[in-house]
Amino acid sequence: MMDAAGIDKGALAAHLGHGRPLEKSQLALDHGLAFERKVTSQGATPLVPLLRHALELTLPEVAYEDVNSVGSDHDTSSLGLRHARTSHLVLDAARGKSEPRTLLDHPVLRLTVGGHPVYLEPDVVAFQCNGKFHIVEIKSFPVIHGQADPVKVTAALFQAAAYVLALRELLEGDGLSPEHVSDTVVLVNPRNFSLRPTATSQSASLQIKILSRHLNRFDRLPELLDRLPPHTTFDLAPGPDKKPTRPRGDLVAALATTRPHYTPGCRHHCDLALHCRAEARNRGNIKALGTAVGEDLAGIDTIATALALADEHLHPSRDQKDITQALRHAHRIHADLRTGHA
């Protein structure tokens, strides 16, 4: 609901006194920027052999265009201008009208979210000769001995999925087949602890399906809005100095009406994650302990219920019998360890 309404969740979090989740240090940001510059330097020369390998390209040569500054002397042109240029290049390439733009750097795409256009900035769009577009994501998390952090890979694939859908929307809007955009995306990461890049092709089809489902749910927004108490608002009531004047308790109460379902994965994509985590912990929500614990204790909603079942203060329902047995076993081991009888 908040995304569809275009609410600045970062501003809400800041007003509530929460920083951005998993905020990167300046050192990490500089490292990421240095890596991206290295990969896209000299017309993305270092990227080309990686893409050839990852996508099995056989292009003899590669056309490259940086869409960062078009039609202006500024380093970065407006999003609207860059989007217009990106659309022109992509559509011409898809129709075979122009020299295929094999690599578009700093393109701007547009995705419709809840009826509103949202601008997105992929790292690179690679265009293959046989008419398939691939999204290339340059990420600064390392691949160590061929393995990258799976949580970060999934987050990157969700990001790429949004770009795939935006590119498909662009093509469909011009009467072209969305099939021109591949589900296969390329992640470019530093290898081990160096700045040397390595590229892997990954299927983002699952993330594309999940994201499409979420976007389609925006069509049910009126239904969701009907469940909110009348006059619910997330307005920060800025004063003449533009600073929010809304009482924090009032805002927290308004947020609670949306019944957020926090999971630790929220920290990778939502500015309100630290607020929702604190609320989930206050309510003793099992999911605040992580996906694995949530799955292990499926059918139990709160930490208080799990503890009451474990120390036999609560009688389990029929569905909770197996998990209660496991909890009581763990409880006995824990008690034995504490008393030194183990």
Site residues (vs ligand SF4, CB under 6 A): 260-262, 266, 270, 272-273, 276
Q: Which is closer to ligand SF4, CB of 47 or CB of 274?
A: 274
Distance between CA 6 and CA 166 in Å, rounded?
Answer: 17
CB of 209 to ligand SF4, least distance (A): 19
CB 283 within 8 A of CB 302: yes
Q: Which is closer to ligand SF4, CB of 180 or CB of 275?
A: 275
CB of 304 to ligand SF4, least distance (A): 20
Q: Which is closer to ligand SF4, CB of 1 or CB of 308?
A: 1
Bridge-based pairing of strands 197-203 and 116-120 is: unpaired
Residue 327, number of CB atoms within 10 A of its CB: 22
CB of 233 to ligand SF4, least distance (A): 16
CB of 262 to ligand SF4, least distance (A): 4
Distance between CA 158 and CA 180 in Å, rounded?
Answer: 19
Q: Which long-range contacts (CB under 8 A, 24 or more apart) does 197-202 make?
A: 197/35, 197/38, 197/39, 197/46, 197/47, 197/50, 198/50, 198/143, 199/47, 199/50, 199/51, 199/53, 199/54, 199/136, 200/54, 200/143, 200/148, 201/54, 201/55, 202/153, 202/157
Both tokens of 284, joined, read 């003793």
CB of 155 to ligand SF4, least distance (A): 13
Both tokens of 295, joined, read 């799955």
Closest alpha carbon to 199 in 52, 90, 28: 52
CB of 261 to ligand SF4, least distance (A): 5
Q: Give the 3-state secondary structure of residue 64.
A: strand
Q: Which is closer to ligand SF4, CB of 9 or CB of 53?
A: 9
Q: Which is closer to ligand SF4, CB of 16 or CB of 304?
A: 16
Residue 125: enclosing H or E segment and its boundaries?
strand 124-127
CB of 97 to ligand SF4, least distance (A): 41
Q: Which is closer to ligand SF4, CB of 249 or CB of 340?
A: 249
Q: Which is closer to ligand SF4, CB of 268 or CB of 328?
A: 268
